[in-house]
Structure 1
Amino acid sequence: MARTLNGRVLSEVVWTDGAIWTKRVALVALGIAAMAIAAKVKVPFWPVPITMQSFVVLSVGAAYGMRLGAVTLLGYLAIGALGFDIFTSSSASNNGLAYMMAGTGGYLVGFLLAVLALGALARIGWDRSPLKMAGAMLIGEVLIFLPGVLWLGHLYAADKGWAWVMEWGLTAFLPAEALKLALAAVLFPLAWRAVGRARG
């Protein structure tokens, strides 16, 4: 069994029935829907918009692999660019490319980088160990926040200062992101164990 699972990601071993293109289209649609829903479900009483979107984005990368994960994320961004209200703080009047080029733009770029990284790391088995999955999630978080903070700084640092950028673009998110990292580090190895038992 170990040989048959090597080099594969979760979506390739959990759903094995049906035509491959039907499966891919369904997975992309499911991933886009999950990202859109996660973007809109916010933790109340937090100074910044905390959602489960980064967790879903990173999970899609790990579960789908690089290529399908990237297609899913690009599909999500394309729908948002067309003006649909699917981003965290978008609205009927604040959406599309104008919204994407504002403060959230760097984080959206980071989403794509993180999906590619998680997909590559999952392909070599990092999502099967709690410690390695935590490391993969940490890499993904860095890839999300690095361009996010840099773009936020480009827009606002001259006016508000870098301390403001770091506080509202990074520091305020860290406790919630740590919890998401821990959750993924538990869930993905458990999912692989369940697959192993089902195939054993």
Structure 2
Amino acid sequence: MNMTLAESLWTGLAVGRLHKIVVVLTATLVLAISAKIQVPFWPVPMTMQTFVVLMIGAAFGARLAAVTLLTYLAEGALGLPVFATGTGLAYMAGPTAGYLAGFLVAATLVGWFADRGHGRSVVTTLVAFLAGEAVILMFGTGWLSLLIGFEKALDAGLLPFLPGEGVKVALACALLPVLWRLARR
């Protein structure tokens, strides 16, 4: 396994559990803020969450990314205002449920790629992020199709998001290799 971006930044530091807890909680705060940066769509708003979810996976690796997303989902289940438009278990079972589940799987998958050295170049970042995006969109559209039907789910939960998701992937492909170069200094 390769060193993740977060681990490369921690080199030389005494990293203990408290440090990792602070990192996880800070990441969930950034994720919560990204949920509030949104373009209103129905039935699911377009937010910056997918970008942050995938960056968490790319920076943290599979294990810490999974812990971070599980913590985020637990915060929302407990009623903290971390999601785009609602809180609690009832909200988590609504139209956004598939996307929320997809966040966990996608961050872990992108983290798996990061654990194997992906994300240090534009090409490997693109591969990892497209895989993560595919997971989020498949989970989200799949769940939404159970609620409103497949065609409506495609029209409301997939197609309008593709241009924005493309921009987020492009941003990540530009940003992540730069962060790696900075971390190596």
TM-score norm. by structure 2 comes to 0.94
Q: What RMSD in Å do the two structures reach over aligned CA positions?
A: 1.5
How far 1:126 moved relative to its partner?
Answer: 1.1
Q: Report 1:56-67 matches (<5 A).
A: 56-67=52-63
Separation in 2 of the partners of 1:19 and 1:52?
29
Which aligned pairs between 1:1-200 and structure 2 lie closer than 5 A? 7-16=2-11, 17-43=13-39, 49-90=45-86, 95-157=87-149, 162-196=150-184, 198=185
1:99-153 CA deviation, whole Å, 9 max, x = no partner?
0001100111101110111101011111001011011110000110111111101
| Distance in 1 of aligned mates of 2:73 and 2:23 | 16
Q: Number of paired residues? A: 183
Between the aligned partners of 1:62 and 1:19, the Cα distance in structure 2 is 19
Structure 1 residue runs without a partner (length 5+): 1-5
Do the aligned residues in 1 keep the contact of 2:145 with 2:152 (CA within 8 Å)?
no
The CA deviation at 1:23 is 1.9
Residue identity over aligned pairs, in percent, reads 44
Deviant stretches of 4+, over 4 Å = none
CA radius of gyration, larger in: 1
> TM (normalized to structure 1)?
0.87
